[in-house]
Amino acid sequence: MDYRQTPAILVADAPGLDFLNSVATPVDEAVDWISDGEGLLAWLDQAALVPRTVLEAMRSQSSAAELDELAARARELREWFRGFVQKRTGRPLAAKDLREIEPLNQLLAQDHQHGEIVTNASDGATRFELRANRRWQSPESLLMPIAEVLARLVCEEDFTYVKACEGPKCTLMFADHTRGHARRWCSMAMCGNRAKVAAHRKRLREQDGAQV
């Protein structure tokens, strides 16, 4: 699999769910974008979770085996968190759910970040803002931005509107931010269009049957 030529599926409208969608079945066969270390680096790049310069540095200073092991840890994190999400879709999180995400808190405790005041000039005006900088000290630090987007999903999304795509074979999840929360598909370009085509063919068969 050429990770540079196969774009990641980033349609969830929530980075934490995009991470869960890093394994999916876009056509007929399942594709895992983080099946090895190079895949993980490519996915982090496409998802814009880690600066490209950091990824290049990690690639040059780490062995393929180290990166493959890191990818395995990322997959374990993904599947553990998928179970947490799937059990709670369609309802708000409750206080008791905090116990179930203790492994995520333990991972977050390993993060190394510091704040930095920087200037942001726009419209001719200078504004100061506080920016969080992460210390990329080891390959394991690449898991930290993933842990952060998973934590933000827990803290910022209403799980009432976290949904699974209605496509028969689709495994993608998304946060429904549409007006009226009527979203049904991972995207109209994929499962939405397939559903339209299937419905159209069904109508044609019914019409042909009625004419017999």
| Residue 200 within any structural domain of the chain | yes
* Residue range 105-123: mean pLDDT, rounded: 91
Token pair, residue 169, equals: 């074979």
Identify the pLDDT of residue 125.
85
Q: How far apart are CA 200 and CA 205, in angstroms?
A: 9
| Residue 9 within any structural domain of the chain | no
Confidence check: pLDDT of 198 > 60: no
From the list 134, 163, 144, the residue with the least C-alpha distance to 106 is 144
**Sequence-separated (6 or more) residues with CB below 8 Å from residue 206:** none
| Residue 41 within any structural domain of the chain | yes
User: Which of 71-75, 180-184, 194-198 is most confident?
Assistant: 71-75
Q: How many domains does the chain divide into? A: 1
Identify the pLDDT of residue 188.
72
| Residue 78 within any structural domain of the chain | yes
| Residue 186 within any structural domain of the chain | yes
Token pair, residue 76, equals: 């374990």
Computed over every residue of the chain, the mean pLDDT equals: 88
Confidence check: pLDDT of 101 > 90: yes
The model's confidence at residue 207, banded by pLDDT at 50, 70 and 90, is: low
| Residue 158 within any structural domain of the chain | yes
* Residue range 26-53: mean pLDDT, rounded: 92
Domain with 177, as residue range(s), is 15-211
CB 65 within 8 A of CB 47: no
* Residue range 170-181: mean pLDDT, rounded: 94
The pTM is what? 0.85
Q: Which of 13-17, 39-43, 59-63, 119-123 has the lowest mean pLDDT?
A: 119-123
Helix axes 52-61, 37-46, angle to 10 degrees: 170
Q: What is the pLDDT of residues 48-95, one digit of tens each?
A: 999 999 999 999 999 999 999 999 999 999 999 999 999 999 999 999
| Residue 10 within any structural domain of the chain | no
The CATH number assigned to the domain holding 61 equals: 1.10.3300.10
| Residue 81 within any structural domain of the chain | yes
